[in-house]
Amino acid sequence: MQRKLILGNWKMHGSTESNAALLAAIRERMSRENTNVDVGVCVPAIFVEQARSALQGSAVAWGVQDVSAHVQGAFTGEISAAMVAGFQATFAIVGHSERRANHGETALVVGEKARQALVAGLVPVVCVGETLAEREAGATDAVVRAQLAAVLEAISVDDAKKIVVAYEPVWAIGTGRSASVDEAQATHAGLRSVLREYDAGLDKLRILYGGSIKPDNASALLDCDGIDGGLIGGASLKSADFISIIEAAASLHADDSLHVG
Ligand code: PGA
């Protein structure tokens, strides 16, 4: 079993005061024994400097939830991957369903964002996932395969070896209704086969599951060979919940072949 990656996605939550306590608690947990797990937090971009100063020198990585598809220029309000990399960030989530749905991000734009993240030396966490209507229409596999393929087409094979994939069914995000282990494993297997078909060297990429992971379902979801970690939204905002998910991952037997961050 691969070493798991537990990533927090804070979304648009936090304040300088509440972040300080949360970051300190995560840092403290990862300074103890049994850290057989990789951990990171993807914070609102305005808090990247706070994350950097609270976490540098620790076993916890930091990153953002989006980057621009452009290198630089007249793009008011956008933040480039290179700017983020200047704060020693590791991760950039790209293609989260909330950005696809609320900001009209197409598969092409998501591919370009992943490419820009890689150029800047960030690890893109490429999110894919189907809506409830797509699942009910039996289109889950086709939808997530197409979303992943669009990113692979935008980047080189060598760069593809550096990405993390996150399967996040839209109907499971923030709803309290997680995918079952069987549902997640089946979709992960489809994504794994897209990666393998693209290049045999992508066999070891991490595919995270995200969507209502909580302390009470984390062990069951993470204790699966095909599920290489979790992207955690709501439960990453409470230190006790996030740390309990870290504990669930750390307690699994894993080799450390893929240390990121
Ligand atoms: P959730 O969010 O854990 O609150 O469902 C996950 C995500 O959107 O990344």
* 3-class state of residue 62 by DSSP: strand
Which one of the listed residues 105, 130, 134, 168 is annotated catalytic? 168
The fraction of the chain above a pLDDT of 70, given in percent, is 97
Place 1 in a pLDDT band, splitting at 50, 70 and 90.
Answer: confident
Q: Is the CB of 229 under 6 A from ligand 1?
A: no
Return d(Cα 223, Cα 243) in angstroms, integer.
17
Q: What is the mean pLDDT of residues 162-170?
A: 98
Which one of the listed residues 96, 105, 112, 130 is annotated catalytic? 96
Q: What is the mean pLDDT of residues 66-79?
A: 98
pLDDT of residue 196: 95
Q: Would the pLDDT of 255 be above 70?
A: no
CA of 210 relative to ligand 1 center, distance in Å: 6
Place 256 in a pLDDT band, splitting at 50, 70 and 90.
Answer: low
pTM over 0.85, yes/no: yes
Place 261 in a pLDDT band, splitting at 50, 70 and 90.
Answer: very low
Q: Would the pLDDT of 91 be above 50?
A: yes
Residue 37 has φ and ψ, to the nearest 5°, of -165, 145
Q: Which two tokens stand for residue 130?
A: 């189907």
From residue 202, alpha-carbon distances to 85, 163, 175, 207 in Å are 24, 9, 31, 11
pLDDT of residue 2: 85
Q: Is the CB of 168 under 6 A from ligand 1?
A: yes
Secondary structure of the chain: what % helix, strand, coil (to 5)? 45, 15, 40
